[in-house]
């Protein structure tokens, strides 16, 4: 006689409250969705489930939710969004560790493109401003480069893990839609490329790029950036380091100004 017990189907569900916005100038709203619970699911997999059947809890068929994602392993930085009021990566946000209903909103320090997708151009423009790259003269073999100490290598490795997700800007009280503060990520990248043996040739140029409006002096030292960085980059250490470099450049400028005054004054 067959004594196998019938399998029980879980009726547990997960409820999402998701911000919907059809465009940058459009009015926004929340739509609520309910999907079956899956153990170990993250926010991205749940968004995929909603995308397959975008029907709200009140039975309305709506357009699929729009969001950004690529690597699904906290490397690309594209799935950053506000989850239950805190900016974080949707791919590493596990449902089992979130309170319901789970509220998903786009980052507020960037212009909304649609729903949870935002325009991160301000971050890329900031990287251009600080020249966050190494200039290469030709592609021929130049031989071995300068040696680097293990200490510098380890420091640079951590700084190089930045994924340009925008979390540090989203958490920063000094960053608003209406200002041009470059934010912690660009400042830290300027430090990274200034430590590079070839990048040092343009180090003063990078430092000076951070001395104008929207530069390091706009930082209010809130330290929120460190708390939300998914890669645990020591962003405030980078800001302090670039502050010191700025001070050196300012002192040099003052010295040359004094020398010029003496030169113009002529012999006494």
pLDDT per residue over 144-178, tens digit each? 778 889 999 999 999 999 999 999 999 999 999 99
Would strands 13-21 and 28-36 be described as parallel, antiparallel, or unpaired?
antiparallel
Q: The tokens 């991160």 sit on which residue?
A: 120
Taking the alpha carbons of 222, 88, 114, 131 in that order, is the dihedral positive or negative?
Answer: positive
- Whole-number pLDDT of residue 258: 73
Evaluate whether residue 57 is within a structural domain. yes
**Are 17 and 127 within one domain?**
no
**Are 98 and 203 within one domain?**
no
**Are 238 and 248 within one domain?**
yes
Residue 17 tokens read as 């409250």
Asked whether the predicted pLDDT for residue 210 surpasses 70, the reply is yes
Residue-range definition of the domain harbouring residue 229:
121-134+149-259
- Whole-number pLDDT of residue 266: 58
Evaluate whether residue 139 is within a structural domain. no
Rounded to the nearest 10 degrees, the angle between the axes of helix 184-195 and helix 121-129 is 30
- Whole-number pLDDT of residue 262: 72
Would you tell me how many other CB atoms lie within 10 Å of the CB of residue 169? 28
Please state which of the ranges 156-165, 174-183, 194-203, 259-268 shows the lowest mean pLDDT. Answer: 259-268
**Are 89 and 129 within one domain?**
no
**Are 101 and 57 within one domain?**
yes
How large is the average pLDDT for residues 101-124? 97
User: How far is the CA of 48 from the CAs of 54, 89, 146, in angstroms?
Assistant: 10, 15, 48
**Are 125 and 251 within one domain?**
yes
CATH number where 198 lies = 1.10.1060.10
- Whole-number pLDDT of residue 139: 64
**Are 188 and 112 within one domain?**
no
pTM: 0.88
CATH number where 78 lies = 3.10.20.30
- For the CA atoms of 149, 151, 156, 158, the dihedral, rounded to the nearest 10 degrees, stands at 150
């Amino acid at each position: 006689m067959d004594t196998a017990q019938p399998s029980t189907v879980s009726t547990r569900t997960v409820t999402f409250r998701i911000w919907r916005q059809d465009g940058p100038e459009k009015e926004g709203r929340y739509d609520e969705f309910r999907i079956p619970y899956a153990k170990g699911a993250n926010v991205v997999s749940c968004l995929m489930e909603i995308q397959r059947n975008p029907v709200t809890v009140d039975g309305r068929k709506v357009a699929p939710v729009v969001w950004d994602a690529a690597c699904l392993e906290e490397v690309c930085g594209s799935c950053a969004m506000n989850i239950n009021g805190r900016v974080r990566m949707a791919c590493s946000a596990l449902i089992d560790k979130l309170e319901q209903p789970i509220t998903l909103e786009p980052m507020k320090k960037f212009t909304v493109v649609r729903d949870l997708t935002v325009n991160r151009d301000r971050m890329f423009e900031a990287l251009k401003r600080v020249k966050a790259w190494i200039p290469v003269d030709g592609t021929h073999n130049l031989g071995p480069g300068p040696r680097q100490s293990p200490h510098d290598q380890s420091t640079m490795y951590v700084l190089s893990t930045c994924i340009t997700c925008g979390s540090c800007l989203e958490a920063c009280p000094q960053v608003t839609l209406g200002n041009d503060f470059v934010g912690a990520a660009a400042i830290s990248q300027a430090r990274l490329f200034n430590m590079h043996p070839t990048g040092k040739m343009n180090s003063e140029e990078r430092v000076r790029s951070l001395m104008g409006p929207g530069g390091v002096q706009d930082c209010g030292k809130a330290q929120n950036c460190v708390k939300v960085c998914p890669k645990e980059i020591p962003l405030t250490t980078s800001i302090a380091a670039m502050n010191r470099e700025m001070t050196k450049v300012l002192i040099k400028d003052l010295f040359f100004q004094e020398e010029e005054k003496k030169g113009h004054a002529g012999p006494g």
